[in-house]
Amino acid sequence: MQSLLERFLGYVRFETRPDDSNTSSPSSLTQMLFAERLADEMEKIGMSEVTLDGNGYLMATLPANNGSGGTIIGLIAHMDTSPEAPSANINPRVFPDYDGNDIVLNSERGVILSPSEFPDLAKYKGQTLITTDGTTLLGADDKAGIAEIMTACEYLLSNPSLKHGKIRIAFTPDEEIGRGADNFDVKRFGADYAYTLDGGGIGELEYENFNAAAATVSVKGRSVHPGTAKDTMINSIMVAAFLDTLLPGKERPEHTAGYEGFFHLYDIRGSVEETVMKYIIRDHDPVKFADRKRILNEAAESARAKYSGAEISITMRDQYFNMKEIIEANYPIMEAAIEAYRKAGLEPVIKPVRGGTDGARLSFMGLPFPNLFTGGHNYHGRYEFIPLQSMEKAVEVIINLCTSVKESSE
């Protein structure tokens, strides 16, 4: 566990926030610098075929040691962290033997991680928790996945008595802005099937995810001196606020769970002259997903009718789709994961992803991709935490999956 802890603490200190306004891949230089650091580490621990392309996709091989070919399994995690929360100067904190009480993350700012607000904390009494310092996110999404994959690979390389087939590894950029699979070369990766390490709490196993779209709503108004504004000013902020109220109030992330979809306004910037709102739209059901996009367009039409002088435009793009149908057609890979969990002493908690992974898009590119847990909680914010013991179990599951290839190829 010490090696896993040190590796993770080192990784999260790399600032790898993506930049959605940059069309390059990767969208930020920091992701490429982190990839270079990981490539060096891969070579040092003895992995082969380590390649880092110009788009920031890092791939490597854990060579087979079972004397036969057989199935090639893939493992993937992403290098970027959420653009929605501060992510520079991350200073993780470690709490061994957590006592089950409130954790003061930052006394100056009054940031407290409390089981009264986050009941999952109570499950981890007596374990080692890794948290933020209350000023940034932690970055366990998905630095935990990277640390777990790297630790499992190092363990297998150090223990050649554990026989396994060829394992392919990939670390990708820009997953958090929906572009993680844009330049992924499935043929070059060369796996028969794969798993993303990009899930939540211990034991979770996922093969259903949201259908996802991103939308930018631009509202242009008319600025006039407020003293002479009657019947002349069009305040774009008020137009934008009105448009947002036309969306179903209870269909937002803070009011939904399970299979319930949502509209999420995650960024708004404006003045009287112009306001820009950024939304993500999510639903597991494809019909309801299409309906949500229609609802947003109709809200814009209603706002135009009420504020006739306002200019309202919407740009919308699909990001990824529900991989359920692909995985169900290849269900033996789920059965292999279930067996790996049980061998690690875990009963799988099969549930839908209330988000997305690179695996969702890659599944539609011909590479089926269920999603495994990393162990983290409260992703994308300053209340993020991860128990070290959950990370250790994720490593154990990875090792079980890799060594199960040996059994099927002999």
Catalytic residues, by residue number, are 80, 175
- Burial code (b: 16+ CB inside 10 Å, e: under 16) for 3-39 equals ebbebbbebbebbbbbbbeeeebbbbebbbbbbeebb
Spell out the alpha helix ranges (H) of 114-164.
Answer: 140-158
State how far the Cα of 368 lies from the Cα of 364, in Å rounded to an integer. Answer: 8
Output the CA angle 96-199-70, nearest 5 degrees: 110
- Burial code (b: 16+ CB inside 10 Å, e: under 16) for 289-304 equals beebbebbeebbeebb
State how far the Cα of 191 lies from the Cα of 168, in Å rounded to an integer. Answer: 7
48-52 vs 129-131, strand pairing mode: unpaired
CB 81 within 8 A of CB 143: yes
Of 160, 116, 113, 114, which is closest to residue 133 (Cα–Cα)?
113
Burial of 48 (0-12, 13-18, 19+ CB in 10 A): exposed
List all residues 6 or more positions away from 168 whose beta carbon is below 8 Å from its beta carbon. Answer: 59, 60, 61, 62, 72, 73, 74, 75, 189, 190, 191, 194
Burial of 96 (0-12, 13-18, 19+ CB in 10 A): exposed
State how far the Cα of 59 lies from the Cα of 35, in Å rounded to an integer. Answer: 10
Secondary structure element (H or E) that encloses residue 399, with its range: helix 388-409
State how far the Cα of 18 lies from the Cα of 304, in Å rounded to an integer. Answer: 33
Of 42, 36, 41, 40, which is closest to residue 57 (Cα–Cα)?
36
Secondary structure element (H or E) that encloses residue 338, with its range: helix 332-343
Omega before 142 cis (within 30°)? Answer: yes
